[in-house]
Structure 1
Amino acid sequence: MSYLAGKIVLDIVAGAPNNGEGEDNIGKAKALRVGRDVYPYVSAQAVRRWLRDCLPSDEPRSGVTRSGSGKKQQAYTEGRPDRYLDDDLFGYMVAVSKQNYQRDTVLATGTFVSLTPQRPTEDFGTMSRNFPAGEHPVIHQHELYSAALAADVLLDVPRAGVFETDGSGLRVALSPVAAQEAEAEGSEPTVLRGTDALRLPQEERRRRIAVLLETLAKLRGGAKQALHYGDRTPALVLLAPVKGGINPFTRVVGARDGKPVFDSDVLREEINAWADELDGPVRLGWAPGFLGDQRDKAMRELKDLIDDGTVTIEHPRVMLTKLAREVRQGDHDGWFEDPA
């Protein structure tokens, strides 16, 4: 059994990829405040939406039902992880007719927060095209910023393609009818962490994890692309198979003297501290040019770990697609097995 744990960093340049509620007719970028400092952020929900939107065009998506009105509105997917990759990997809650079914997410992501304080700037614009002479233009304003946004990530590989059919409260993922249909369509009974469940064929479980990794490698999306189009593929991705689901890599990227930094010493010490929990190399995907010359510096500082295979450093797309290929061909089937 292994989780894939690590870190993802997005490089936002003069962008506004995720926005909150406007104030005084000004579109506000999402940001949190710590004392006097302002840290722009992109919500986990937004990035998960980007991932859904970037899935292959032939990958079926779970349908969404919306009901009610006002404060009593609700929206929910079909809740069929046996049929849909997004229900499987991103989770859901279906609560209708006094029946509750829930799937906790297989892919957990933190909020993508700027590594350094960055106060968004206001962009002022006008609309006056084809207005009669002398009429005042329509004024519009919104915020934008440049920042490196980082979040932790955890992929619970053994739960991919495995759905609880027993348990208590909202832990049950499938209704009895859905469970019967899933079993008739090829899922087999199993036990996951002490709970009865159904499991998809191994080939499909591999495929779903591989598709997720490949989709992350070509991530795109975000708000205000007409004004602030920019690269949304990860500038840096760190992933490592960890047996216990702990993420030791939270502090590998941080800030120093007001600038984002990658700390090779932190990575080295965390690798040593968690050596008994690591189930393979620490894979680092790092886009050339991101963080200036820090990539070359890290390669020099980690040379011994690179030479013995403990750490690999490649372009993010190369790293993610290579890992996806290995998963597809069964090289990491041990990650999918949860101890009884």
Structure 2
Amino acid sequence: MAFLVGKVALDIDAGAPNNGRGEDNVARVKRLWIGRDVYPYVSAQAFRRWLRDSFPAEEPRSPVIRSGNGAKQQAYTAGRPDKYLDDDLFGYMVAVKGKDTCQRDTVLATGTLVSVAPRKPTVDFGTMSRGFAAGENPVIHEHELYTAELAGDILLDLPRVGVFETDGSGLKVALTAEAAKEAEAAGAERTTFRGVAALRLPVAERRRRVALLLRTLAAVRGGAKQALHYGDRAPALVLLAPVKGGVNPFTRVLTAREGRAVFDTDVLREEIKAWADELDGPVLLGWAPGFLGDQREDARAALADLIEAGRLVLDHPRVVLHRLAGEIERGERDDWFEDPKA
């Protein structure tokens, strides 16, 4: 089996990709404080929304059902991971009074994308006066923006893609009894997965879903304030490694030194060495040219021996992700979809 683990980084240039709660008539970006330093961030929920919205138009999305009113409102998806890729990968909970409850923990775990180095947002001041009569006061509006390199962790539990629990002690089932019957009639097979009864989709569909996710990750679009601060939201850097145990050793490869983001090749090298027995293939490093200045070529030179030995692949994020998607589609990584035999 393998978990794809690693890091995703975004290059934000004078943007406001994820807004928090406004105050004093100013639209604020999300940020956190560490001591006296401020770090803008994009929430995991926002990034997952971008991913979902970036799936190809022809890929069906799970419909959202909204019920109730006031403080007792509920909103949930169909809860049919057998039919919808987003229910499969992102998880859900359907808990409606009088109906069977089902839930699915996420298969794709995403961390908060936080600025690597401290960055204080600036406030942009604007007015609206178009069409106003002479002498009328304009309407004032203000909002924050920033430039920063944001980074967060990512994990994809490959053996769980297309596998849905139907039984288990202390575990909410992923499919109701009726949905399970429909899924089995449509071709899902019964299996035992991590000690509980489950249904599993055909491997061709499981391959397709992972490949589509990887290709979508290469071309993410979205974010707030696109009319005023349009910018690329596709990852400028993606590090993915197939790890047998699901631990992510690569959370510290991006750090801050003297107020700027730095890719630490020494950290990457030592982690590859320390986790060699758990790695189930080369570490894949997709790095867009121009991101972090000349550090990309410095890293290529510093890690040349690992690249030559096939333990590290360094290329453009789109090239790396599309190549891996192709390998998975062709069945070259089918062992990653299976848990080890007891």
Fold equivalence (TM over 0.5): yes
- 2-structure distance, mates of 1:69, 1:256: 50
Deviation, 1:174, is: 0.3
Match of 2:75 in 1: 75
Deviations 1:175-233 (A, max 9, x none): 00000000000000011111110000000000000000000111110000000000101
- 1-structure distance, mates of 2:106, 2:113: 17
Residue type matched to 1:7 in 2? K
Residue type matched to 2:40 in 1? P
Residue type matched to 1:88 in 2? D
Q: Structure 2 vs 1, CA of residues 75 and 129 (structure 1 numbering), >3 Å: closer, same or farther?
A: same
| 1:151 correspondence with 2:161 | no
Match of 1:3 in 2: 3
Conserved in 2, the CA contact under 8 Å of 1:82 and 1:88?
yes
- 1-structure distance, mates of 2:178, 2:263: 50
Deviations 1:65-96 (A, max 9, x none): 00111221110000000000000001001001
User: The residue matched to 1:299 in structure 2 has which SS?
Assistant: helix
- 1-structure distance, mates of 2:61, 2:170: 26
Match of 2:224 in 1: 223
Conserved in 2, the CA contact under 8 Å of 1:100 and 1:170?
no
Match of 1:188 in 2: 189
- 2-structure distance, mates of 1:50, 1:6: 19
Residue type matched to 2:309 in 1? D
Residue type matched to 1:57 in 2? A
User: The residue matched to 1:79 in structure 2 has which SS?
Assistant: coil
Match of 2:235 in 1: 234
Match of 1:278 in 2: 279
Deviation, 1:169, is: 4.0
Match of 1:287 in 2: 288
Match of 1:262 in 2: 263
Match of 1:94 in 2: 94
- 1-structure distance, mates of 2:101, 2:111: 26
- 2-structure distance, mates of 1:75, 1:154: 26
Deviation, 1:171, is: 3.0
Conserved in 2, the CA contact under 8 Å of 1:107 and 1:153?
yes
Deviation, 1:34, is: 1.0
- 2-structure distance, mates of 1:169, 1:59: 33
Match of 2:114 in 1: 113
Residue type matched to 2:182 in 1? E
Match of 1:18 in 2: 18
- 1-structure distance, mates of 2:279, 2:240: 11
Residue type matched to 1:17 in 2? P
User: The residue matched to 2:95 in structure 1 has which SS?
Assistant: strand
User: The residue matched to 2:80 in structure 1 has which SS?
Assistant: coil
- 2-structure distance, mates of 1:89, 1:171: 17
| 1:310 correspondence with 2:311 | yes
Deviations 1:99-147 (A, max 9, x none): 3211011100000000011111000000000100000000000000000
User: The residue matched to 1:171 in structure 2 has which SS?
Assistant: coil
TM-score under structure 1 length normalisation? 0.99
Match of 1:57 in 2: 57
Residue type matched to 1:275 in 2? A
Conserved in 2, the CA contact under 8 Å of 1:101 and 1:170?
no
Aligned Cα root-mean-square deviation (Å) = 0.8
- 2-structure distance, mates of 1:159, 1:100: 20
Match of 2:324 in 1: 323
- 2-structure distance, mates of 1:170, 1:87: 17
TM-score under structure 2 length normalisation? 0.98
User: The residue matched to 1:86 in structure 2 has which SS?
Assistant: helix
Please list every run of at least 4 consecutive aligned residues from structure 1 whose deviation after the TM superposition is greater than 4 angstroms. none
